[in-house]
Structure 1
């Protein structure tokens, strides 16, 4: 009789555990979803973000996983279009049954996905965007790993004005991403009693920059801040130089640094790009040395800022999963991430709390040098 009672209790406990089991979690596996641009003009952003994450997940899996569970990454291509991003997120949650999301790419795509993942209460770690609209109002499901566009543009404007440059124009993508960057530049200039001397736009996934070029060059700016993806930014730069413009060019990190440098070739010398992750080409910090070693072990000889960000995103997610414990739920993952107070990953510090999911305010300025190589 006692044995029967014990078996009954165990059965009830097992049934309750099943009833509360999360999608995407088994005894052996944790399924993580990514919606990102894998095809089209901005494809390198999503591809490199995916590569950086997968590289670290492979390391973790080879070491036995998280509490005995390996990590499986499922990526759906959204083409950097909001409608496709919404569809991709729904498919990841409802069809692929992912446990959590990581490494999304883009502001308009992120904004389209936000209501869906929020309603489903699926955590998202590491959005490859610095838009304030994805940080305010605070969303408990979203954990950022990078600094904001406000942080990046403040760094750029501070640098330019310190050098005495005041005539600054803005070339931006005509969507939520571009407008977020424009707002950042305007805020930084207003702080110094200045405003853009001219602005010009380009449509997402387009390189039609002729009208913007004309409007901006007419104002004779000393510098142009570009808030767009690499194809359109490269097109604007090349056409401006062809018309004799000799001013400075600054880009935010989302541009896709390596892709831009590759596209510009030798002409890109002197172009400045703000960064939100440590310099991936020199082993000056533990996390960069680790990233380089793991990339080489994976047969990847080319380092870049985007895969570095993917790598850091995976590091942060894995740390949150470890802290969540063996009984893994989405709620325990959120608690695990929120317990990461000033966690140093080897030269890159992440700080979360129950009221702050910003993660990092790290910014840096880099310059494209000869042969498309980057310098501090």
Structure 2
């Protein structure tokens, strides 16, 4: 999917952005809100190797926005979503967010995707004083004492620990790790190394996969040389697809495990039956499990937009928008960013219908510790 990128800022505007104190003074103004509208910004990968995640995120957010607006908005304000492509390039993410803020059409940020991408924008948001709900990353390194960031999902540290505990419970004493060669993958490798040490599991293999997959052959060769009984995939996007295919071909029956961001909905479609047997963590409920009230609400919102495919990432993005909407409702009609921050921080044990959000009174704000395990069948759905 292609979206027209934001135009480059004029040199005069760039000079203003660079001026000392600009972000603290000009960006701190209440912008992106009027009596009738409220602007929500998101930068995510709508092209490139991680476009499948951006596609899922867009669908989930748009379904939730349509649902909220269909009920009259928030205190009569229509939610307006500004979604822009960064192709998973951190500098583009930062440039997109700078432009959103400088144009004054964004009141709050929501669900930007990627660990290095969020790392690039968090300092901008802290300076600008803009609330940010639901980053699509579980990196523990980004969960610091920010007054503006309200994480929803559990951390990668929690996910990896749960995976490794399960592997230990199966009696495995050695596991290989393939990690994406960027900040995301290296942080997951650190999490996996710590968790495996706790469970006395030996790291039989630690090999980096380039984010463009150019060294896939070398990675598969190293796995073939060591032949670990199980491989933990600290990877994401299209490179996970080719890696899984290669492992399945070279080592039929090898146990493969991954995190919640190993595959997008599009990736699962691309894999087809090759996804069968892959075990992954879930940080939201199964998006096809309609017996959960929240999932039924999500599915209804998706169907209202003629979307029949339900995925973990679109559900996560839907949940994030719902959390933001709850904060906006609690903040009241006379809305400011400070009131929104206080309202979000006040959420305690809020049951969304089978998924609970609970923020502590002090940052870092993390709403959920939910982590479950699922195993894919040949249809790309979790086995019952």
Tell me what 1:194 maps to. 201
CA contact (8 A) 2:176 2:230 kept: yes
Measure how far apart 1:261 and its partner are: 2.2
1:276 aligns with 2:283: yes
Tell me what 1:301 maps to. 308
CA contact (8 A) 2:164 2:192 kept: yes
Tell me what 1:10 maps to. none
Tell me what 2:270 maps to. 263
CA contact (8 A) 2:56 2:264 kept: no
Q: Distance in 2 between matches of 1:142 and 1:158?
A: 30
Equivalent position to 1:58, from 38, 62, 66: 66
Measure how far apart 1:37 and its partner are: 0.5
What RMSD, in angstroms, separates the aligned Cα atoms of the two structures?
Answer: 1.5
Q: Distance in 1 between matches of 2:137 and 2:129?
A: 21
Equivalent position to 2:222, from 198, 215, 227: 215
Q: 1:68 to 1:131 in 2, by over 3 A?
A: same
Q: Distance in 1 between matches of 2:236 and 2:255?
A: 18
Measure how far apart 1:245 and its partner are: 4.8
How many equivalent pairs are there?
356
Q: Distance in 1 between matches of 2:265 and 2:281?
A: 13
**Worse-matched range after superposition: 297-306 or 88-97:** 88-97
CA contact (8 A) 1:277 1:308 kept: yes
1:178 aligns with 2:185: yes
Tell me what 2:120 maps to. 112
Structure 2 unaligned blocks of 5 or more: 1-27
Which TM-score applies when normalising by structure 2?
0.89
CA contact (8 A) 2:294 2:353 kept: yes
CA contact (8 A) 2:164 2:199 kept: no
Tell me what 1:165 maps to. 172
Tell me what 1:374 maps to. 382
Q: Distance in 2 between matches of 1:211 and 1:157?
A: 25
Secondary structure of 1:198's counterpart equals: strand
Q: Distance in 1 between matches of 2:132 and 2:377?
A: 35
Measure how far apart 1:244 and its partner are: 3.2
Secondary structure of 2:203's counterpart equals: coil
Measure how far apart 1:93 and its partner are: 1.0
| 1:80-95 equivalences in 2 (<5 Å) | 80-95=88-103
CA contact (8 A) 1:99 1:330 kept: yes
CA contact (8 A) 2:53 2:265 kept: no
| 1:1-376 equivalences in 2 (<5 Å) | 22-135=30-143, 137-356=144-363, 357-376=365-384
Tell me what 2:8 maps to. none
Measure how far apart 1:182 and its partner are: 1.1
**Worse-matched range after superposition: 352-361 or 340-349:** 352-361
Runs of 4+ in 1 over 6 A off after TM superposition: none
Q: Distance in 2 between matches of 1:108 and 1:48?
A: 19
Measure how far apart 1:263 and its partner are: 2.2
CA contact (8 A) 1:50 1:103 kept: no
| Deviation sequence 1:69-109 (CA, Å, 0-9, x none) | 11000011111011111111101111253101001100011
Larger Rg: 1
CA contact (8 A) 2:280 2:374 kept: yes
Secondary structure of 2:185's counterpart equals: helix
Q: Distance in 1 between matches of 2:152 and 2:212?
A: 25
Tell me what 1:12 maps to. none
CA contact (8 A) 1:366 1:374 kept: yes
Secondary structure of 2:268's counterpart equals: helix
Q: 1:87 to 1:205 in 2, by over 3 A?
A: farther
**Worse-matched range after superposition: 105-114 or 46-55:** 46-55
Q: Distance in 2 between matches of 1:288 and 1:272?
A: 21
| Deviation sequence 1:258-302 (CA, Å, 0-9, x none) | 333222222221011211001110212110011111111111111
Which TM-score applies when normalising by structure 1?
0.91
Q: Distance in 2 between matches of 1:99 and 1:365?
A: 36
CA contact (8 A) 1:145 1:313 kept: yes
CA contact (8 A) 1:257 1:273 kept: no
